[in-house]
Amino acid sequence: MKRLSSFVIFGLIGIVPTGTPQAGSARHAKLRLEVYTSSEKSFCVDSTIIYGKTESILIDTQYYKSEAAKVADRIAATATHLKAIIITHAHDDHYMGLETIHERFRTVPIYMSATALEQFKQESEAARAGQKKYVPAETPDSLPTPEVLPTTHFLVDGQQVEIMQGQGDEAKTTNSFVWIPSIKAIIAGDIVFNEVHPWLA
């Protein structure tokens, strides 16, 4: 049974806000997305690097340490300044790789929405301790605590990256998704799924 943990949608038809730099303009190079999907062993989790010529933002940090290390390598390979790490919601498969990423990028702030952060503080240590019993080599010894998103509007090389709230797979509205107007792309977190099925664990 496959669980695809997040989804990226390209080519959406949408309205780009006035003043938004257009992809391919002389002033701004087109933003790019690199989506890393882990193996089925670690639930096919997606991490997405949004990057331009000089700057980048990471969305979600993987479940297993070994997968998070591969994402860190890919960030480094972009040769950009990582401005922020954003966790879409407080499910352990999206944040358990935080320590591994944080070790490589010590000064980069980590953000979550206020409602997601509340859930993270309540559940993350129990989730980490439980995982440590089953896959100790892939489980961090501790987790850095994210900060509340200071804004829902970020810029990567001058181009907008918007953080929006949605319902997703939680009873409360704790899920975020990311809208990038200049390339008409959504990073959907756990709001949109491919190969949907009931998760009965």
Ordered DSSP codes for the chain: -------EE-S---PPPTTPPPTT-SSSPPPEEEEEE--GGGTT-EEEEEE-SSEEEEE---SSHHHHHHHHHHHHHTT-EEEEEE-SSS-HHHHTTHHHHHHHSTT--EEE-HHHHHHHHHHHHHHHHHHHHH-GGGS-S--PPPEEPS-SEEEETTEEEEEEEE-TTSSSS-EEEEEEGGGTEEE-TTSS-SS------
Give this prediction's pTM. Answer: 0.84
pLDDT tens figures, 94-148: 999 999 999 999 999 999 999 999 999 999 999 999 999 999 999 999 999 999 9
Domain boundaries, the chain: 29-187
- CATH (residue range 29-187): 3.60.15.10
